[in-house]
Chain A
Amino acid sequence: MTSPLYIIAVALAAAFLLGLLREQWRSLAYPVTLAALAFMSWLSASWLWALASGSASPVDIYTAGTAPPFAINLRMALPEAVLTLLINLTGLFSALYLKSALLARGRRGMAVLLVAIMALSGIVLTRDIFNLFVFLELVVIATGGLVLLSDHAHALSAGFKYLVVSQVISILLLIGIIFAYHATGTLNIDGMAEAVPGLQNAGASQAFELAFFLMFIALVAELKPFPANGWALDIYEAAHPAFSAIFSAGAGTAALYAVDKLLLIGGPAWLDMATGVGIVTFVAGNLLALPQSNDRRLLGYSSVAQIGLILAVLGQRDILGEDTYFIAGGLLLSHAVAKAGLFWLSGLLAGRQLVDWADLRERPMPVFAFVTFAAMLSGLPPFPGFYAKWELVHHLAGSGRLVLLALVLFGALIEAGYLFRWFGYILKREPPGEADFCRVIFDKPHRVLPVMVAVAAGWALAFVWGELASSLLGRSNLLLALPLLFALSFLLLDWLPAWVKNSLAIAGLVAFFAATWTDYDALRMIFAIIFTLGGALTLLASYHVHGRRVGFYPAAMLMFAGMVMLIRADTSFDFFAAWELLTVGSYFLILRGKHSEPHALSYILFSLGGAFLIMAGFAIAAQGAPQFALASLAHVAAPFAPWVFLLLAIGFMTKTAAIGLHIWLPGAHAEAETDVSPMVSGILLKAGLYGLMVLLLAMGKQQLYGIELTHVLLWVAALTALLGNLMAVFQEDAKRLLAYSSIGQMGYALFGLALMNHLGWLMALVFVINHYIYKAMLFLAVGGVAKRTGTREMYRMGGLIRLMPLSFIAVLVGIIAVSGVPPLSGFGGRWVFYNAILASDYRLPMVVLFLAGPIAFLYLFRLIYTIFLGQLKDELRRVKEAPFWIVLPQMIYVALLIAFAVVPGLALHRVDTYLNQFFPEGGLSWAGGEITSNYGYWNPVAIMIIVGVIFCTVFAWLLFVNRRAQPVKQFNIVFSAERPFRPETTHFAWNFFAPYRKALGFLTQPLVTIFWTTVTDLLHTAGDLGRRLYNGNGQTYAFHFLAFVVIVFFLVGL
Chain B
Amino acid sequence: MDMRALYDRLKALYPLGELTEQRANLAFVTLPAEYLRPALLHLRDLEGYRHLVLLTAVDWLEDGLFQLTYLLCNRSRNCDIGLRVMLPREGATMASSHDIWPTAAVYQRELREMFGIDFPDSPGVDEEFILEGWNDIPPYRRDFDTLKYANDSFAQRAGRETRDPETHMKQQLYPDRD
Are A and B direct contacts in the complex by CB distance below 8 Å? no
Residues of chain B touching chain A, judged by Cβ–Cβ distance below 8 Å, are none
